[in-house]
Structure 1
Amino acid sequence: MNYTAVGVDIAKSVFQVHWVDPHTVEVINKAVRRDRFLDYFANREPCLIGMEACGGAQHWARQFTKMGHQVKLMPPKFVKAFNIGNKNDPADARAIWMATQIPSKPVAVKTETQQAVLALHRMRQQLVKFRTMQINSLRGLLAEYGEVMGKSREALDKAIPGILAKLSDRLPTMLIDTLREQWSGLTGLDRQIAGIEQRLQAWMKDDVACQTIAAIPGVGLLSATAAVATMGDAKAFRSGREFAAWLGLVPKQTGSGGKVQLLGISKRGDTYVRTLLIHGARSVLRHPDKAGAWVQQLGKRRPFNVVIVALANKIARTIWALLAHDRQYGREYMSSKPL
């Protein structure tokens, strides 16, 4: 079935729609208010709706899918290449319409449950960032008075009671009390982070896919839940190599005249999941018995960071293989092409 391509530039209140009528060949580029947006597509024949994968796109994608339309979410970087004129809503909608018709790997449309899991990950990541900022701020403020401590949280908790007691004779009470409150606030952040991890753990116990890939060395609670929620349907990827490339765990290429040079990893795709997989690969390398002979041999001829990325690539491909083929992890399993 041939679907009419429609480019949609979503916004907060007014949406811009661009498409070409297949019967009259009329170019339509009009603004639609938010309260009439779904009604605009309610009585139409099924069409291919393209949107940038930005805030709110997942919600509208689910609504359009319920109506029988096909939805293609695209990274904004891919759409930007088609905007050759001024930056405005009509030009953006036209660029999205053009990008929708070009073959490319779309961003997976996630269920509300998957998006809820990713929301927990984002909030946890933000809390960890706040905690790190608070620790560094306390260390910096105390260094102004000649008190220097280690970088770790353990070093801070061990040293700060004595430091505050020593500085209480030199500094105003209002500053000492404020520093003590800021230090005590770290415990509250710890409780919030632990609470989110407990909720993720509870969801993982009920999700078969998470339990399956959690058996892979280097895949823990955060990696398993984030990978399953971000991937969506594993069969949307043709191979584990495509999934690893989608995460940016493959070399970037540059070249001309038939000579191609491989650079560092492309860093495309989801930064958060890629970071978790790389940290997981680094943890595996700390335990040689879990790394396996392949990693040990690779480490003899390649730099340490290259080995980490290579192992993260292998973990990503293993995740896809288990979920796409509905298999259990086996350490001694050897993949082979059919004869």
Structure 2
Amino acid sequence: MNALRSVLYEYGHVVPKGIAHVKRIESILGDPNSDLPALVLEECRDLIVQIAEQTARIESKTKKARALSMATDTARRQPTMPGVGPQTALAISGFAPPMESFKRGRDFTAWLALVPRQYTSGGKERLGRVSKAGQTDIRSLLISAPCPASPC
């Protein structure tokens, strides 16, 4: 996508970032009065075809992940929590130990390394930094999860 944007920018066509603007690029390439050389048009159209193929592959893998996450009971219940989708639920059920091994949610978040380190002395609580240890796949899915429809 960025290669397309940069080639079009060289010829004076500015396209915003994001896959949502593929249609705009297609309209620029399909314009009969385009100032783009024939070789550039051919290469850009080839890139558009590659983007369409990759998008189709990503969508099919996402559908497979959704279907697989609906196969297990735990993974089926987890997407009801805000910020947890089918891929995150599938990662938790695949990589995390059984939830029965944790006494409470804080123990699970400590296992994921999402809680700050505690330095407690004499009743005074001091929180340190959050480490980068733990299961990185699950942690990154939970942190980068999009917000649900309700405000976060």
Greater strand share, 1 or 2?
Answer: 1
Give 2:12's match in structure 1, choosing from 136, 146, 167: 146
Structure 2 contact 28–34 (Cα < 8 Å) conserved: no
Residues 93-144 of structure 1: CA distance to partner in whole angstroms, max 9, x if unpaired?
Answer: xxxxxxxxxxxxxxxxxxxxxxxxxxxxxxxxxxxxxxxxxx1222122222
SS for the counterpart of 2:80 is: coil
**Structure 2 residue identity aligned to 1:195:** S
State the Cα distance separating 1:267 from its structure 2 match: 2.9
- Please name the residue that 2:50 is paired with: 185
Distance verdict in 2 for CA 1:253–1:178, change over 3 Å: farther
**Structure 2 residue identity aligned to 1:249:** L
Q: Which has the larger radius of gyration?
A: 1
Structure 1 contact 223–273 (Cα < 8 Å) conserved: yes
Residues 229-276 of structure 1: CA distance to partner in whole angstroms, max 9, x if unpaired?
Answer: 111322344542222012121124689xxx975344323222221122
Give 1:265's match in structure 2, choosing from 105, 112, 130: 130
For the residues of structure 1 that align with 2:128 and 2:14, how far apart are their CA atoms? 41
- Please name the residue that 2:2 is paired with: 136
For the residues of structure 2 that align with 1:171 and 1:152, how far apart are their CA atoms? 22
- Please name the residue that 2:150 is paired with: 287
State the Cα distance separating 1:179 from its structure 2 match: 0.9
Structure 2 contact 11–36 (Cα < 8 Å) conserved: no
Report % sequence identity: 31
For the residues of structure 1 that align with 2:46 and 2:130, how far apart are their CA atoms? 43
Of structures 1 and 2, the one with the larger relative CO (CA 8 A, separation 6+) is 2
1:209 aligns with 2:58: no
TM-score relative to the length of structure 1? 0.39
State the Cα distance separating 1:180 from its structure 2 match: 0.7
Structure 1 contact 247–267 (Cα < 8 Å) conserved: no
State the Cα distance separating 1:210 from its structure 2 match: 0.7
State the Cα distance separating 1:145 from its structure 2 match: 2.0
1:220 aligns with 2:79: no
State the Cα distance separating 1:178 from its structure 2 match: 1.1
For the residues of structure 2 that align with 1:137 and 1:261, how far apart are their CA atoms? 48
Counterparts of 1:154-165 in structure 2, within 5 Å, are 154-155=20-21, 157-165=22-30
Structure 1 contact 204–211 (Cα < 8 Å) conserved: yes
SS for the counterpart of 1:267 is: coil
- Point out where structure 2 has 5 or more consecutive residues left out of the alignment: none
Structure 1 contact 253–262 (Cα < 8 Å) conserved: yes
